[in-house]
Structure 1
């Protein structure tokens, strides 16, 4: 192969192959894997359990101290429930699509 053939091969085969290779690697690295989804669902479940425990602790403290006012999101207020309901709807859709 002469020098001209080498440059043609480099310009039309090697360079596009390298560019497309790294574009593909970049796209696959940006996607969420099945293991990541399982971890997110586990963390979401844990967060819900911790939230229920916090509600219990706050109810116990409020029963002992009438002046106690929790300074966090409350499960029984509509303004606090809207983002949680949206998240639960999205997770249910994701589970339905995966099944």
Structure 2
């Protein structure tokens, strides 16, 4: 292999390749920081489910308060 090709190969491996790899992973990390459309939908569904469960718990607490007034004292 001629000396010129060797110098170019060494320069590529020591300068260009590491910078290329760093920029590649920086781009991947920036993309990973944002939520995808599926993640946003799942988060919205979880938020809706949590609100429904909160309403159900409030309803159950009202029923228990009416039917068994001392139930809160009995709970551990």
Give the shorter-chain TM-score range.
0.7 to 0.9
Structure 2 match to 1:32: 35
TM-score if structure 1 supplies the norm length?
0.62
TM-score if structure 2 supplies the norm length?
0.77
User: Which residues of 2 match residues 76-95 of structure 1 at below 5 A?
Assistant: none
Match among 14, 21, 44 for residue 17 of structure 2: 14
- The number of equivalent residue pairs is 71
Q: Distance in 1 between matches of 2:69 and 2:43?
A: 37
Per-residue CA distance 1:65-86 (angstroms, 9 max, x = gap): 2223388xxxxxxxxxxxxxxx
Match among 60, 65, 84 for residue 63 of structure 2: 60
Say which structure, 1 or 2, has more relative contact order (CA 8 Å, 6+ apart): 2
Structure 1 ranges of 4+ moved more than 4 A: none
Q: Give ranges in structure 1 of 5+ residues lacking alignment.
A: 72-99
Displacement, 1:10?
Answer: 2.0
Per-residue CA distance 1:4-63 (angstroms, 9 max, x = gap): 111112233222111111121122123211111111111111110111111111111110
Q: Distance in 2 between matches of 1:59 and 1:23?
A: 53
